[in-house]
Amino acid sequence: MAGKPDPKLPTIERLTRSAVHYLERYSSSESNLRKVLERRVLKACHHHGRDPADFTEMIETVVGKCTGSGLVNDRTYAETKTASLRRRGGSRRKIEAQLAHRGVDRETIQSVLDMGSVPEEEAAAVYARRRRLGPYRNVADRQARREKDLAAMCRAGFSFDIAARVIDGANEDE
């Protein structure tokens, strides 16, 4: 059984192909693409006994190419990720944390969240419906599980006031 081939030393062309291949499959921020390419370079350098710092300029060139051509746009990435997370019931805090983790700058995150179309309470209701919390739980278990449901909503990043309104509210489906 043959193993994986040895990693080749990075060149601009190889890194560009890797970046395009990655971006065909995943949406990414500029910082995240840089991390992906750095991991690839680190793997090759470790195998060949080279210093990864020698390839930093190549990585920046490839990231610059991808940004310049429009393949990578932090604002568009933040908008699509925010819309996706809001549809699934993501709180503002959770969205901020995930975008910051992916390397999107704070100003972009704030501007995207401020123009958001889904209010926090509506996102909380979606989250409660998905997790079957509060009004979406069996009537017999609802009061006994109220504290746990509130805790789950707060851990998801919703404020206590919003969590309490959703958990104590009525089920819109009924």
3-17, 65-79, 95-109, range with the lowest pLDDT: 3-17
Instruction: Give residue-wise pLDDT tens across range 130-172.
Output: 999 989 988 888 888 999 999 999 999 999 999 999 999 876 6
Quickly state the pLDDT bin for 1 (edges 50, 70, 90).
very low
Mean pLDDT of 20-42: 94
Quickly state the pLDDT bin for 37 (edges 50, 70, 90).
very high
pLDDT reported for residue 169: 84
H helix runs in the chain, sequence order: 12-25, 30-48, 56-68, 74-87, 92-101, 106-114, 120-131, 139-142, 146-155, 160-168
pLDDT reported for residue 173: 55
Cβ(160)–Cβ(150) below 8 Å: yes
Mean pLDDT of 69-73: 93
pLDDT reported for residue 172: 60
Percent of the chain with pLDDT over 90: 71
**Rounded alpha-carbon distances, angstroms, from residue 122 to 86, 103, 145:** 9, 27, 21
Tell me the pLDDT of the chain averaged across its residues.
90
Residue 15 pLDDT exceeds 90: yes
Mean pLDDT of 62-74: 94
Q: Amino acid identity of 117?
A: S
